[in-house]
Amino acid sequence: MQLVCDNLSFEYSDNGTIVLDRLSFTMQGPGFHAVFGPSGVGKTSLARIISAGITGYTGQLHLKEIKTILYSYNMERLPGWSNIGNILRQVTPSGCESLLEELITVFDLDSLMHSRFARLSLGQQNRVNLIRYLVQDFDLLILDESLANVDEKLRHTILLHIKERFSDKMFLSISHNLMEIATFCKKIVVLGSRKEEGREYLLQGMDVQRDREVAQDIAQDMLPDRKRLDEVMLEIMNAC
């Protein structure tokens, strides 16, 4: 399983603004990877190129053992004609019903199954949307701020469960949460704000996995290797 961007460039056709400038990197294997950088440096544009939502770029995009790509994003809407329990059951493929129930519990949504989507908070809506994608068949799932507005402790619980439950899948996370990117991701592409210099870096994250105490440790800011986490976060910030 491999994702390769080779000299990838993209600009807006209406005003000629360069969004991505000769971007090259390789992400290898399943697990959590990330794209990080300031607003306006092309993170979402890159995600949409990878998921075939944008054309007209130059350079090459190579996918190995990645056939099905899904793209989940913050504040995505669902229809309001039914409660979310019915909606989730209707979009869940046959044979994945137990997975759906498992995710509903882990995502702390059991008590909301009879609620309409529009009545949920933004964080609850994002959790429902993410479940909708996780029950599908995919090789790569792009998470574009998909857990925004979810409280930190629950986000960490969800991320650790996804990493364990979908260990054979590739994930590409786009987030402004520096600590989470450094903690949970394997490879991190950092896009710099000075695009004319073609600045991008591929850094190594901590790739923390599920452990008996790890969720509590993260919530209490007591990671066993806090020094290494601080070093990774500093590397990311220096690369921006």
Mean pLDDT score, 126-143: 97
CA distance 152 to 17: 35
Spans of all domains in the chain: 2-239
Check residues 198 and 51 and name the one with the higher pLDDT: 51
CB 20 within 8 A of CB 9: yes
Q: Which helix (H) or strand (E) holds 19?
A: strand 18-28
Backbone angles phi, psi at 150, to 5 degrees: -100, 135
Q: Read off the pTM.
A: 0.90
Query: Would you state the pLDDT for residue 195?
Result: 45
Q: Which CATH number fits domain 2-239: 3.30.420.40, 1.20.1260.10, 3.40.50.300, 1.10.1200.30?
A: 3.40.50.300
pLDDT grade for 224, boundaries at 50, 70 and 90: low
